[in-house]
């Protein structure tokens, strides 16, 4: 099955150009889903729905990569998930098709860049902490994560690579800071504590 995804940054923008392109490329109108969200906004309910609907052998079609992803890191994470699930990706205007050798090679290069980005964020964080300790500042905890650190925290959490505590330790911040930066639509709610009744 072919599924199409469109995104506009504001309600005033018209998605008709994207929809028409998807229709011309074989996607049924009923299988086209449109989000209204800025590139930086984490919550995209229609994209989440598309990811739930797709099955092995399906193909996701978009007009351009910037309609699908808010960052290289997000794009590669999404691409890796699609590949693991046996789902194709076709980016119409940029000619990227993961069913071809060239398309897979491009995603491979993006994966290398994303991994480098992750390592640089962690290295910069560690350098900053070391510099702070050298100047006699104990702890080095910061009240907020940078935009790159918040993005990395979300990706690590979504991919279930690290727990919230491990992410907090990595950036030397409290768990509450990490929770404050995670997309609330994806975080798992805490289970209420069970009351243990002891027999007299």
CATH class of 2-104: alpha beta
* Nearest-angstrom CA–CA distance, 68 and 37: 11
As annotated, the active-site residues are 9
Q: Beta strand pairing status for 59-62 and 2-8?
A: parallel
Q: How many residues does the chain have?
A: 200
Task: Report residue 194 as tokens.
Answer: 């069970």
Contact (CB, 8 A) for 89 and 98 = yes
Domain span(s) for CATH 3.40.50.1390 in the chain: 2-104
Contact (CB, 8 A) for 30 and 56 = no
The tens-digit pLDDT sequence of the chain (200 residues) is: 999 999 887 767 788 999 999 999 999 999 999 988 755 555 688 988 999 999 999 999 999 887 887 676 777 778 778 888 889 889 888 778 888 888 777 766 766 665 666 677 777 777 666 666 666 655 544 557 777 788 888 888 887 777 888 888 888 788 888 887 786 545 444 444 444 445 55
Determine the 3-state secondary structure of 98 from DSSP: coil
Q: What is the pTM of this model?
A: 0.54
């Amino acid at each position: 099955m072919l599924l199409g995804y469109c995104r506009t940054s504001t309600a005033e923008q018209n998605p008709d150009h994207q929809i028409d392109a998807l229709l011309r490329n074989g996607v049924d109108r009923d299988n086209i889903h449109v989000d209204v969200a800025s590139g930086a906004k984490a919550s995209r309910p229609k994209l989440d729905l598309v990811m739930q609907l797709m099955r092995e052998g399906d193909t996701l079609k978009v007009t351009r990569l910037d309609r699908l992803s808010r960052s290289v890191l997000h794009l590669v994470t999404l691409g890796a998930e699609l590949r693991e699930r046996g789902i194709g990706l076709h980016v119409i205007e940029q000619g990227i098709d993961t069913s071809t050798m060239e398309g897979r090679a491009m995603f491979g290069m993006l994966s290398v860049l994303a991994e480098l980005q992750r390592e640089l964020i962690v290295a910069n964080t560690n350098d900053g902490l070391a510099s702070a300790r050298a100047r006699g500042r104990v702890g080095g905890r910061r009240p907020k994560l940078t935009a790159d650190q918040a993005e990395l925290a979300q990706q690590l959490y979504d991919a279930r690579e690290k727990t919230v505590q491990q992410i907090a330790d990595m950036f030397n911040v409290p768990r509450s800071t990490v929770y404050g930066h995670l997309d609330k639509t994806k975080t798992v709610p805490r289970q209420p504590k069970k009351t243990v009744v002891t027999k007299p």
